[in-house]
Amino acid sequence: MRTDRIAVFVGSLRKESFNRKMAKALMALAPESLEPAIVEIGGLPLYNQDYDDEGKPLPPWTAFREQVKSFDGTLFITPEYNRSVPAVLKNAIDVGSRPYGKSVWDGKPGAVMSISPGAIGGFGANHHLRQSLVFLNVPVMQQPEAYVGNAANLFDENGNLANDSIRGFAAKFMQAFAAWVETNRAGRTQ
């Protein structure tokens, strides 16, 4: 069976991030056909087009672009900041999207989960992120939608998912994502 390597991006740098806990839980629940790994984005300098235009991209950008290119798919786990995508994640998307015509996102199947202590589960961030991903030609899984609210109640003291309901949903999400990657694998012709 082919294994698809999945780049996992977490839109929070916080030590006790609920999103990072969820990313780890999802990785542990991934079906065998997926091999997920977190790609760290906190050290990426803010994007400035001048460096690409001058042919001198910053080394952390180049390393990030090469790293993302080596994956078969992308999984975005993000909080909502002011009803939108946290800057650290938007910066990573912008860095990967340039130079023009060389986007590392192009055609790689992806999925989005948003997590918030609030009741509406980061819906705004989830859909702002989808807006960018549509432009970047990322086939983004549509169902199940994943707006996960009340995050403070989802994890036990060890950071594991605390109840069967969220565990079941997380497993279902990863199974659907594995099928989505299989169907939308880059280069697939039918």
Ligand X SMILES: Cc1cc2nc3c(=O)[nH]c(=O)nc-3n(C[C@H](O)[C@H](O)[C@H](O)COP(=O)(O)O)c2cc1C
* 21-60 footprint of ligand X as x/- string (CB under 6 A): ----------------------------------------
CB-nearer residue toward ligand X: 4 or 80: 80
Instruction: Tell me if 118 contacts ligand X by CB under 6 A.
Output: yes
CB-nearer residue toward ligand X: 74 or 103: 74
Instruction: Tell me if 80 contacts ligand X by CB under 6 A.
Output: yes
Instruction: Tell me if 188 contacts ligand X by CB under 6 A.
Output: no
CB-nearer residue toward ligand X: 57 or 122: 122
Residue type, 50: D
What one-character-per-residue DSSP string does 64-107 give? HHHHHHT-SEEEEEE--BTTB--HHHHHHHHHHH-STT--SSTT
Distance CA 46, CA 60 (A): 11
Query: In DSSP terms, which residues pair with 148 in a beta bridge?
Result: 115
Structural tokens at position 128: 């702002």
Minimum CB separation of residue 156 from ligand X in Å reads 15
Query: Alpha helices, DSSP H only, in the chain?
Result: 18-29, 49-53, 59-69, 87-97, 123-135, 164-184
**29-37, 55-63, 73-81, 168-176 -> range binding ligand X (CB under 6 A):** 73-81
Per CB under 6 A, residues contacting ligand X are 12, 14, 17-19, 79-83, 116-118, 122
